[in-house]
Amino acid sequence: MNAARRDDSARVSLSPLELEVMDVVWNLGECTSGDVIEAFASKRELADSTIRNVLANLRQKGYLKPIPSIGRGFRLRPTVPRETVARRSLRSLLESLFQGSPTQAIAFLLDETDASDAELDEMRRLLSTRKRKEKRP
């Protein structure tokens, strides 16, 4: 395992609200707290002070970095990619809910969702690609 992955797995997990706020930040990229508050309003109603507190917690946990800007205040930049958080979250779910079995997780998803024919075709393609990779010496 490389050093970057070790650092990511040691990072404190996100609460559901922190994950919602990070989703907004990832979509915006570098942004101000005002940008986040404005964008979050389209998702659900939440007090500005609550969002600012969540952003402060995300900074403290190392998920956001303040970037000095011209004028008053600073901009926020995500320090952890969405994919890193998704990977860690999926690994955790896989271990805790499906005894580490990708087959059980996929079976559950197929039973619980209405995957379109196009999505099922894409899953088949992904599985086929994975099988070919494993067969290579």
Tens digit of pLDDT at every position of the chain (137 positions): 444 444 555 577 899 999 999 999 999 999 999 999 999 999 899 999 999 999 999 999 999 999 988 877 899 999 999 999 999 999 999 999 999 999 999 999 999 999 999 999 999 999 999 988 887 76
Lookup: tokens for 130: 């994975």
The number of angstroms, rounded, from the C-alpha of 80 to the middle of its chain's C-alpha atoms is 9
Q: What local confidence, expressed as pLDDT, does residue 70 receive?
A: 83
**pTM metric for this prediction:** 0.77
User: Which pLDDT score, from 0 to 100, does residue 40 have?
Assistant: 94
CATH of domain 3-82: 1.10.10.10
Element (H, E) at 102: helix 102-112
81 CB contacts (<8 Å, ≥6 apart)? 26
Domain-by-domain residue ranges, the chain? 3-82, 101-137
Q: 67 phi and psi, to 5 degrees?
A: -115, 120
